[in-house]
Amino acid sequence: MHFDWSYFWQELLTPSSAFLDGLGLTVLMAVLAEIIGLVLGLVFAQMRLSKFRAAQAMASFYVWAIRGTPLLVQIVFIYTGLAAAGIVRFQDITFDGFNFSGNLQAGILALGLHEGAYMAEIFRAGIQAVESGQFEAAKAIGMPPSMMMRYVVLPQALRIVLLPIGNQFNILLKNTTLVSIIGVSEMMLVTESINSATFRTFELYSVLGLYFLALTSLWTLFMKLAEKRLELRSLRPAFAAQAAGDL
């Protein structure tokens, strides 16, 4: 086995600007998709728990369809499939010198829709983990449903879902590599193109792996700190741990 250490260190410590751009895209996609996912998740969780049958059915269908198909298929379907059918063709948008390319938009949308289905399930479980007495007390004192959600239920549910949401974001970070299939130059695709010129596959993919490890480790560290801060006096630790375990 030959491992070119000097090439490895060079790529790891002084990566090309193309690779750094790829890193930027990876993080950008993950963050934007997470925001989309959180919003969709909240909306679809409310729909699943609503008393309106049509809303329940729509939300169930969405979660079922997204969780039952591969993300890779969803990405190609949204970018290439919709365009081929003449339904949506994602156009490049440039603002402030940044080219927000059509495939990048489609990639973020696909990742966001995917994330939304998982977030919907996490939020639903979190809301259901809040004691029924909390709902009843809020109703009995005269709070309409929206107020009950905002001030009583969601603050308690959020603390329960923090850990599962963090884990899901970790998965999302890694799933961004799949968007390389539609030609978004994130870290994976950049690595592939460098590789096709140099054939230093072992070294290059070691570097790529380490960059992802760094990203996910930083995120885990951040989650640990956030959890500490949120370990508020207002929640029994035992209850929080038990509720998180239920998910």
Partner 1 sequence: MSNTQDTLIEITAIEKWFDRTKVLDKVDFSVARGEVVVLIGPSGSGKTTLLRCINHLESVQGGRILVNGKPIGYRTSNYRLVEDSERNIAIQRRDVGMVFQRFNLFANMTVMRNITIAPRLLLGLSEAEARERAEALLAQVNLSEKAEAYPHELSGGQQQRIAIARALAMTPKVLLFDEPTSALDPEMVGEVLTVMKDLATGGMTMVIVTHEMGFARQVADRVVVMSKGAIIEEGRPDKIFGAPKHPVTRALLNAVMH
Residue ranges in contact with partner 1 by CB under 8 A = 131, 133-134, 136-145, 147, 151-152, 155-156, 159, 233-236
Q: Residue 126 Cβ, how far from partner 1 at the closest point, in Å?
A: 13
Q: In a 3-state reduction of DSSP, which class is residue 91?
A: coil
Shortest Cβ distance from residue 122 to partner 1 (Å)? 19
Residue 199 CA to residue 188 CA, distance in Å, equals 15
Select 86 or 142, whichever has its Cβ closest to partner 1. Answer: 142
Smallest gap from Cβ 185 to partner 1, in A, equals: 44
* Residues paired with 100 in a beta bridge: 93
Pure H helices in 141-200: 145-147, 154-175, 187-198
CB closer to partner 1, 22 vs 126: 126
Measured from the CB atom, the residue of 50 and 217 that comes closer to partner 1 is 50
Token digits for 204? 């290059």
Closest to partner 1 by CB, 2 or 228: 228
Give the shortest CB-143-to-partner 1 separation in angstroms: 6
Q: Which residues 6+ apart lie within 8 Å of 115 measured at CB?
A: 33, 34, 36, 37, 38, 40, 41, 168, 172
